[in-house]
Structure 1
C-alpha cells in the first residue's frame, strides 16, 4: 500500500487519487495570498484536498469548500479532511464544476485551483513523450479536456465575490492564453509568479492571482533549486511551514 504524505501539520492519504502530491500544488497552496482574510474559500478540483488543508492551516476562513468529481478522489479527500485538525471548517462536494456553479448561490472570497494541464496543443507533445500509457484516471485528471480553462474561468467569475481573488497554476506556455480568456470574464491578473526548476532551466509554471480590478501586475520569479536537492532560500521560505525537511 502506498505510504501517505506527511506534512508538518497534517497527513495526506493519496493511494486512491490519480494526481499525487506535487510541487505545483504545494507552491500554489503556499503562495496564494490570504492578506484579505477570506471568510469563504473554494478549492476547484480538490484531488487529495491538499490545497484546502494548506489554506486551513494558513488562515481562519470559516468555510473551506472543495469540489471533486472523481469518486475515489472524493472519498479520499473527505477522509483527509476528517483526519485533520480543521475538519469542522472543511467540506467536499462530489459534483462537476458545471453542476456546482449552476446550483450554488454562494460567493467565495478566495477560489484556488491546480487544474488539469493539457490543452489540445499540448496533448500531442505528451503522447510523443510516451504519456499515452497513463491510466484513464490520470488522463482524466491531467488532460484539460476534463475541465477546459474557459469553463473554469467562467465558473470562477460566477462564484467569486466582487472583491475576491482567484489563484491558479498553469504551464508557462499557457499563461498568455489563460490571461486572455480571463479578461473575457473581467478577471485580470494582479500577481504572477513564474517558476523555474534551476537557474539555467526554462520557466515551467505560472502561478497567477486574478481579481475583477484591472491593476498593475506584480511579477516575480522563483527558482526551486540551485543544484540537485540544494533548494533556494526563496523556495525554502515559501514551503517551510509545510514540508517536514524544510
Structure 2
C-alpha cells in the first residue's frame, strides 16, 4: 500500500487497521490552536495523522500520542520519526487508563477521533474491531481521562457520530466539560448530518454551532471544505 501523501508529510498506513479518512483530516484541520498551546495530546493516534497535522499547524513543543495496538503504535512512531517535526512528537504504547494513571502532565489541547461503532456485530479482524468499536474506548472512559489530563484553560476536541452528540455532551457535563464550539458535517446539501466535531472546555461559553458540507456533488468539493483542508491535501 502506498503512503498517504500530504503537502508537508507522508503517512504510512499499511499496518494500521483504520486507514486515513475524512474524519481524522477534519478534526486535525478544525481544532483551534488560537491559544498557542505548549502541549497537545492525541488519544488513540492510529497512524498519527492528527498529531502530525497539529505539528504542522502549531509551534507546540510537546505533542504526545497514545496508541494501544502494537502494529499501529509501531507505525505511528515511524511516521513521527520520518516527519519534519520528529523532535516534538512522541507516541506512548499504552492504554488510556495506564497513561492517565502514570502521566502527571496536563495538556493544553487534547484531540481524539475515538472508535464509535456501537453496532452489535464484530468482524473476524480483531485489530480492526479494536480500532472501530466503542467498547474498546467507551465514551465515559475517554471523557473521564480527558478531564484529568486537560489543563485548566485547555480544550478537548472530538469527532463523533451526530446521533451520539447529545449523549456525549451529557456525559461531559458530569465532568464539568462544556461544548464551546460544534461543527455539524454533511456529505452533501441534501444528506443528513453525519458527524459532530465538538470542542469542550471547563468554561460554559456557548456553544457556537456551524455547519460544513463536504461536496455539492461527487468529487465537487465546497469552498468551505477546500478552505479547511487546503493546507494538507495535495489536490486542494
Q: Which runs of 5+ in 1 are unaligned?
A: none
Cα distance in structure 1, aligned partners of 2:84 and 2:154? 26
Identify the residue that residue 145 of structure 1 maps to in structure 2: 135
Cα distance in structure 2, aligned partners of 1:215 and 1:76? 38
> Deviation string for 1:17-61 (max 9, x for gaps)?
000000000000000000000000000000000011000000000
| Residue 200 of structure 2, aligned match among 199, 210, 213 | 210
Count of matched residue pairs: 236
Q: Which runs of 4+ in 1 moved over 6 A?
A: none
Identify the residue that residue 212 of structure 2 maps to in structure 1: 222
Q: Which runs of 5+ in 2 are unaligned?
A: none
Identify the residue that residue 91 of structure 1 maps to in structure 2: 90
Structure 1 residue 194: Cα displacement: 0.3
Q: Is 1:165 matched up with 2:158?
A: no
Q: Is 1:156 matched up with 2:146?
A: yes
Aligned residues: CA RMSD: 0.8
TM-score (norm: length of structure 1): 0.95
Cα contact 2:187–2:215 (8 A) shared by 1: yes
Cα distance in structure 1, aligned partners of 2:208 and 2:56? 25
TM-score (norm: length of structure 2): 0.99
Q: Is 1:42 matched up with 2:41?
A: yes
Structure 1 residue 134: Cα displacement: 5.6
> Deviation string for 1:88-128 (max 9, x for gaps)?
00000000000000010100000000000123xxx14xx4x
Cα contact 2:123–2:129 (8 A) shared by 1: no
Cα distance in structure 1, aligned partners of 2:86 and 2:130? 28
Identify the residue that residue 101 of structure 1 maps to in structure 2: 100
The secondary structure found in structure 2 opposite 1:105 is coil
> Deviation string for 1:113-149 (max 9, x for gaps)?
0000123xxx14xx4xxxx446211111010000000
